[in-house]
């Protein structure tokens, strides 16, 4: 019974983990597409700080933003004794309809809305956004705050005149490093070791090209990670930023990544050799081959029937080496009906590749063996239902064959020359800093 419930807890945690991974993935797409400035700012922050010294950052210095200090807050709630009323924007509500609930004259409401619109587009007011009304002892609203984001508020002072200001809340910038051994699952042990959920999700995403979390992560796996965060003093919120360094060690084999701002201005992750974390699956897993049959409907050369061709055929001389299309684990190696001598590699939870009609397998290739992208796994042949030496190559996504030539995975960049030099200097700093934070 205990074992059973442990197992179901384990799977539940995996499911939760993937759910958050999915959410984060959606998030990442949005952030990457819309706001590269965010990433650049993070980079600036990093250059500003020394170890985990606190720095009060002020972003967007060109905007009309005023910083709040703790003294300000005391004045708000201390001297004048305001009663704070928190309103959460619900569906269908507008700022106008919310203001209407308080004892403002219509003229005052128009005046407030007009002034606010000059600085903040009220169409951007979202469901669940927080608005705070500050009421004095005479029941008059003297101030309104619209919480724009975790670290930005819109401050509306209501006197004879109405003064609207966007305020950047003061933040303390920190860096933190954690190292732990997995006893259960990456997700469960991450939470147990007080790794923030936001960082945990980023960590899972970062390693998703290298690891199949369900299979690879075992008890005893070591995880080491370094990341940035802001503490927003006024509202006691935390803003988790980028992972700077991450390492997962399985059976003594370390996979590690360092954050780096590329010359093109993208924050990305690279290993010590300067290879990007994103490893696209090879579209052509052998050299000098020509496509002899494409993916799609065709008349089968042997049966003569019209049939869906679920792979790409590459004509090549017998014995031509075949490469692993990506990093992964050999899932199948052996005879497989019409496929003849066949290899299938599992790359991660979603992607697999298959290689058919081989003449033979590379020595040492067997089920459960880990292979790296570009490593020779076998040789072109004509075994199974085949009319001549060729490689039949399939890319399998969520257990269905897809057209390899239309595969649209991000391809990995390899740093070279000056950029590589810059990266090496950078990663050494990151690593030294990480060790400092861990062992100081
Ligand atoms: Zn084929």
Cα 325 to averaged position of ligand 1 atoms, centre (Å): 16
- Same domain? For 256 and 351 the reply is no
Cα 346 to averaged position of ligand 1 atoms, centre (Å): 19
Distance CA(346)–CA(371), nearest Å, equals 10
What total of structural domains would you count in the chain? 3
Q: Facing residues of 132 across strands?
A: 86, 145
Cα 396 to averaged position of ligand 1 atoms, centre (Å): 14
- Same domain? For 180 and 266 the reply is yes
What number of CA atoms fall less than 13 Å from residue 265's CA on the CB side? 7
The verdict on pTM exceeding 0.85 is: no
- Same domain? For 185 and 247 the reply is yes
- Same domain? For 314 and 396 the reply is yes
Is the pLDDT reported for residue 156 higher than 90?
A: yes
* 418 C-beta neighbours (distance < 10 Å), count: 9
- Same domain? For 50 and 177 the reply is yes
Does the residue 280 lie in any domain? no
* 261 C-beta neighbours (distance < 10 Å), count: 19
- Same domain? For 76 and 133 the reply is yes
Measured CA to CA in angstroms, residue 262 lies from 322, 409, 418 at distances of 32, 19, 11
Q: Which domain holds residue 193?
A: 2-54+173-270
Distance CA(238)–CA(430), nearest Å, equals 22
Is the pLDDT reported for residue 271 higher than 70?
A: yes
Distance CA(193)–CA(337), nearest Å, equals 49
Cα 408 to averaged position of ligand 1 atoms, centre (Å): 21
Q: How confident is the model at residue 124 (pLDDT cuts 50, 70, 90)?
A: confident
pLDDT average, residue stretch 75-100: 81
Does the residue 424 lie in any domain? no
Cα 204 to averaged position of ligand 1 atoms, centre (Å): 35
* 126 C-beta neighbours (distance < 10 Å), count: 8
Cα 194 to averaged position of ligand 1 atoms, centre (Å): 50
- Same domain? For 133 and 223 the reply is no
pLDDT confidence of residue 327: 81
Is the pLDDT reported for residue 32 higher than 50?
A: no
Does the residue 426 lie in any domain? no
Does the residue 232 lie in any domain? yes
Q: Which two tokens stand for residue 270?
A: 């690279």
Maximal CA-CA distance, the chain: 92
The tens digit of pLDDT for each residue in 359-415 reads 999 999 999 988 888 889 999 999 999 989 999 999 999 999 988 777 766 667 889
- Same domain? For 177 and 146 the reply is no
- Same domain? For 297 and 397 the reply is yes
Does the residue 380 lie in any domain? yes
Query: Last residue of some domain: 270, 301, 332?
Result: 270
Q: Which residue has the tokens 């397998």?
A: 361
Query: Last residue of some domain: 142, 169, 196?
Result: 169
pLDDT > 90: percent of the chain: 49
- Same domain? For 185 and 46 the reply is yes
The DSSP secondary-structure symbol of 122 reads: G
Cα 308 to averaged position of ligand 1 atoms, centre (Å): 10
- Same domain? For 180 and 254 the reply is yes
Query: Last residue of some domain: 138, 169, 200?
Result: 169
The DSSP secondary-structure symbol of 405 reads: G
Distance CA(423)–CA(163), nearest Å, equals 47
The tens digit of pLDDT for each residue in 337-348 reads 999 999 999 987
Cα 306 to averaged position of ligand 1 atoms, centre (Å): 13
Apex CA 270: angle with CA 268 and CA 274, to 5°? Answer: 125
- Same domain? For 195 and 262 the reply is yes
CATH number at residue 263: 3.10.450.350
Distance CA(153)–CA(331), nearest Å, equals 53
Does the residue 420 lie in any domain? no
pLDDT confidence of residue 208: 73
432 or 5: whose pLDDT is higher?
Answer: 432
Lowest-pLDDT choice from 63-77, 164-178, 316-330: 63-77
The tens digit of pLDDT for each residue in 196-248 reads 999 998 898 788 777 767 667 788 899 999 999 999 988 888 999 999 999 99
pLDDT confidence of residue 118: 93
Distance CA(142)–CA(204), nearest Å, equals 47
Residue 43, H or E segment:
helix 36-48
The DSSP secondary-structure symbol of 250 reads: E
Cα 281 to averaged position of ligand 1 atoms, centre (Å): 18
Does the residue 185 lie in any domain? yes
Does the residue 361 lie in any domain? yes
pLDDT average, residue stretch 8-28: 51
SS3 helix, strand, coil % of the chain, rounded to 5? Answer: 30, 35, 35
CATH number at residue 350: 2.70.70.10
Cα 370 to averaged position of ligand 1 atoms, centre (Å): 25
């Amino acid at each position: 019974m205990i074992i059973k419930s442990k197992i179901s807890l384990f799977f539940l945690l995996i499911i939760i983990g993937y759910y958050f991974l999915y959410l984060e993935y959606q998030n990442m797409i949005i952030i990457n597409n819309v706001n590269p400035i965010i990433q650049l700012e993070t980079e600036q922050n990093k250059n500003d700080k020394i170890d985990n010294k606190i720095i009060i950052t002020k972003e967007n210095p060109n905007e009309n933003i005023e910083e709040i200090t703790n003294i300000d807050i005391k004045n708000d709630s201390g001297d004048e004794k305001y009663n704070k009323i928190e309103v959460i924007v619900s569906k269908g509500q507008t700022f106008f309809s919310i203001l209407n609930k308080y004892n403002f004259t219509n003229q005052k409401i128009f005046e407030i809305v007009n002034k606010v619109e000059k600085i903040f587009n009220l169409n951007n007011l979202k469901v669940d956004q927080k608005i705070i009304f500050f009421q004095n002892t005479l029941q008059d609203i003297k101030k309104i705050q619209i919480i724009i984001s975790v670290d930005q508020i819109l401050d509306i002072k209501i006197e004879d005149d109405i003064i609207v200001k966007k305020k950047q809340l003061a933040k303390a910038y920190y860096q933190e490093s954690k190292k732990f051994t997995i006893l259960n699952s990456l997700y469960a042990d991450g939470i147990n070791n007080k790794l923030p959920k936001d960082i945990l999700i980023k960590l899972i995403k970062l390693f998703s090209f290298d690891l199949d979390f369900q299979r690879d992560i075992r008890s005893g796996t070591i995880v080491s990670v370094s990341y940035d965060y802001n503490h927003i003093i006024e509202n006691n919120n935390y803003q988790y930023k980028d992972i700077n360094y991450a390492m997962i060690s399985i059976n003594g084999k370390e996979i590690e990544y360092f954050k780096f701002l590329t010359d093109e201005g993208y924050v990305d992750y690279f290993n010590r050799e300067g290879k990007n974390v994103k490893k696209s699956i090879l579209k052509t897993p052998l050299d000098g081959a020509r496509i002899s049959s494409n993916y799609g409907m065709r008349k089968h050369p042997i049966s003569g029937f019209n049939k869906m061709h679920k792979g790409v055929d590459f004509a090549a001389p017998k014995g031509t080496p075949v490469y692993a299309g990506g990093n992964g684990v050999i899932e199948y190696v052996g005879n497989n009906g019409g496929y003849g001598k066949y290899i299938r590699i599992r790359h991660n939870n979603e992607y697999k590749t298959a290689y058919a009609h081989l003449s033979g397998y590379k020595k040492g290739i067997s089920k459960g063996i880990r292979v790296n992208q570009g490593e020779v796994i076998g040789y072109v042949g004509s075994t199974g239902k085949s009319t001549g030496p060729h490689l039949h190559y399939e890319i399998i996504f969520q257990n269905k064959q897809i057209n390899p030539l239309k595969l649209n995975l991000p391809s990995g960049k390899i740093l070279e020359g000056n950029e590589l030099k810059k990266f090496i200097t950078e990663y050494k700093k990151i690593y030294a800093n990480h060790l400092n934070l861990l062992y100081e």
